[in-house]
Structure 1
């Protein structure tokens, strides 16, 4: 086999397919041999055997062949893993790196645009606050609603105080805390 052909997609695929098929064929043969060995040993009696000795002996011997079957299946799996790892780590790597670089560039541009927008918004707020507030366009409806002051209906005003007097303290409203009616200047 040409070693340079092994480092191409087609060459490695052909190699791993051949190896996988060979190991799967071996695993099938090992499984058949294990069944034959187990059945043959279960049917043969050796002098001095007890009632379960044949089955235990057959299981111990056939277990070794089953281990060979499992090893062959693992080798077939490893051949497929070799091809998948080669494709992932060698063949597709340049495309993934290019995609990652494009994403990084896009994130960097988005961050710069967001920072620029935040700076522009901050400067606009500064200019607006330093110039005395936003200028009103004639004919434009103001967006803020005037404050509405509602007196609370409290059941506590109906009952006398716990100190024993009939005197009830007046309930405070927002107008007591903000004498100008809550209007901004």
Structure 2
């Protein structure tokens, strides 16, 4: 067998087909032999056998041949799996990589276009915001509510706070006039 021919599609296909066919034939032969051996041993008594000893002995011997049949069937399946794996992992790999690279480049270009559009939109909003005149003069803080002025009737007017003076502690009478019933 030429080892270099094994690394071509046709060479590996021929090798795996030959191996597969050989294992399939072997599995068939093992199955036929197992049936013949089992039936012959079931009909051949050995001195001192009990009533089920023949069948049990025949089953034990035929079981080994059935295991060989199963192993050959699995080997035939593995030969086909060898060819399929070789085609998938070696022969078709360059084509799959080329397709994946093309998809990757397409996604990258799509992302770049999306980022470019987002940057352009952001710049447009910034330019629009900077060129729009504002109602408030710069440096002032907008008021959340209008300023409140203390009226002369307010109890806070009684204690001047200007020169760091302290307000005396308040009692309830400071807030409610005496004698009011509510």
- TM-score in terms of structure 2 length: 0.70
CA distance in 1 between counterparts of 2:124 and 2:50 reads: 98
Paired residue for 1:11?
11
After superposition, what is the alpha-carbon deviation per residue over 1:105-145, rounded to whole angstroms, capped at 9, x for unaligned?
11111111110000011111212222328xxxxxxxxxxxx
Q: Where do residues 55-70 of structure 1 align in structure 2 (5 Å cutoff)?
A: 55-70=55-70
Question: 2:31 matched to 1:34?
Answer: no
User: Structure 1: where are the runs of 5+ without partners?
Assistant: 134-185
Query: Segments of 4+ in structure 1 off by > 6 A?
Result: none
Q: Distance in 2 between matches of 1:6 and 1:132?
A: 76
CA distance in 2 between partners of 1:121 and 1:52 (Å)? 90
Q: CA RMSD in A?
A: 1.2
Alignment-derived partner of residue 99 in structure 2:
99
Highest Rg: 1 or 2? 2
1:47 offset after TM fit, Å?
1.2
Separation in 1, partners of 2:76, 2:107: 43
Which residue of 2 is the match for residue 77 of structure 1?
77
Q: Structure 1 length normalisation: TM-score?
A: 0.69
Aligned residues: 133
Structure 2 runs not aligned, ≥5 long: 134-182
Q: Distance in 1 between matches of 2:75 and 2:87?
A: 19
1:44 and 2:44 aligned: yes
